[in-house]
Structure 1
Amino acid sequence: MPRKKRESVENISPLRPAPPEILFDESNWTKHFVPADGLAEWVAKTLMDESSPLYNEDHKHLHYADIEYLWAAVENKRQMRRVVGQCEEVTFRCGAWQKGRQEQQMKEWFGRVPAYLITLDANYARECSDIEFCALIEHELFHIAHKPDEFDQPAFTKDGLPKIGIQSHDVEEFVGIVRRYGVGAAAGKTAALVEAAKRAPEIGNVDIARMCGTCLLRAA
């Protein structure tokens, strides 16, 4: 598939959803986490629609994935680094009351318990550029991978849908992120990463891995 001509993401990306102002109201002590309304639709339109200039075929296995997004106004640091995004499979490994309480919270937020949850730092999302925001979203999406079968080919369910699950980086950084946003501070160890790093970034040079909570959890 030929590479598209590089353009400014600010010129081709639809207006991204912003965290609500209530999260930044210091007099409000009741709202620290709120659903990122409209973000799933923005992701579908910007990154998963083939007619979009920012379409990324690497995410095609997520077309039917059950993913929700959450704004967080609580500072999160891990290993002395600021966490601005985290992707997780929604599971409740706890007692009946804890599980019931957490399920209730999810249903109050989203109307259901989603399969995957991507939490984003609201302060970072309010401050960052469009290109940094796109890189953050794509980085978290890359953590939800298409699982391989016993022959190392993409696996599918009996209904024909991709089998997906959480993964770490394919190398020190996802090859797809390096291809689109540049190598940043991540050093490549495979031929694919080296080849991607040799080229000018398709969109722009951004390094998100050092601020991803999912990456830092798996590095611990």
Structure 2
Amino acid sequence: MKRPMPPKEIGVFDFDWSMHNDVPYDFRPDEDLKDWVWSTFIDEEGELCNPDHVHLSYYNRDLIGFMWASRPFEKGGHIVLGQAEQVAIMAGGWKRKRQELQMVQWFSYIPKYIITIDAGFAESASDSDFCALVEHELYHIGYELDHEGEMYISPTTGRPKLKMRGHDVEEFHGVVQRYGASPDVQKMVDLVNDGPTIGKAKIAHACGTCLLKLA
């Protein structure tokens, strides 16, 4: 299944913004992108199925809404090409209803999570780079652990309890240089030395979800 590309009309507005300093971003939901991601990485028979995403298969595809953004944004000196976020409508009254309506207009449902990908990056990225970014965002949708460190399955729903998660390895280069690698860092080193199982990708500092946590 060929990977979907962003729509050509993204970022094209009927309104004349030439007299305005701040041209707005354009966002386009894409059900084909969602289906491709699910069929490729999450479904058990997917060509690039990743067992690390098996917890997502307990849910239907409306769990995650996928969108294209007309251009990236900058945060902390980094260009953001992708972002995963949990949908949390904290408002009440009409404000809440407006936000819910926006979700329904975009997706025809209210997803639990949204993954947004920069359209310009998608148009020029190699397959490996694109897949790496998409999977990076999927990894941010993790699951709770039980007291034995295993995936917690809710006795009520029969599904894993999901949560936003950070990276497996978070350490400063200087600490590793001075004191050596912790078990988690060493595991990453071993995986690098073993080589990629699919292909090399060039994705660095491109995730808005990660940059939100940078201090």
Alignment RMSD, CA only?
2.2
Q: 1:25 aligns with which of 12, 24, 33?
A: 12
Q: Is the 8 A contact 2:168 2:184 kept in 1?
A: no
User: 185, 199, 209: which is aligned to 1:190?
Assistant: 185
Q: Partner letter of residue 18 of structure 1? A: M
Larger Rg: 2
Whole-angstrom distance in 2 between the partners of 1:155 and 1:209: 31
| 1:189 Cα deviation from its structure 2 partner | 4.9
Listed as ranges, the gaps of 5+ residues in structure 2 are 18-23, 172-182
The normalised TM-score by structure 1 is 0.80
User: Equivalent residues in 2 for 1:53-202 (5 A)?
Assistant: 53-65=47-59, 66-158=63-155, 159-172=157-170, 189-202=184-197
Summarize the Cα distance change of 1:206–1:172 in structure 2 as closer, same or farther, 3 Å threshold. farther
Shifted more, 40-49 versus 133-142: the winner is 40-49
Q: What displacement does 1:152 show? A: 1.9
Tell me how far 1:97 sits from its aligned partner: 2.9
TM-score (ref. length: structure 2):
0.82
Structure 1 CA distance for aligned equivalents of residues 148 and 69 of structure 2: 40
Q: Which residue of 1 aligns with 2:2?
A: 15
Distance 1:49 1:193 in 2: 26
Q: CA deviation at 1:191?
A: 2.9
Is the 2:11–2:25 Cα contact (8 Å) retained in structure 1? no
- 2:29 matches 1:42: no
Query: Unmatched 5+ residue regions in structure 1?
Result: 1-13, 174-187
Percentage of identical aligned residues: 40
1:85/1:140 contact within 8 Å kept: yes
CA contact (8 A) 1:139 1:209 kept: no
**Could you tell me how far 1:110 is from its partner in structure 2?**
0.9
Deviations 1:179-212 (A, max 9, x none): xxxxxxxxx9523212211111111222434110
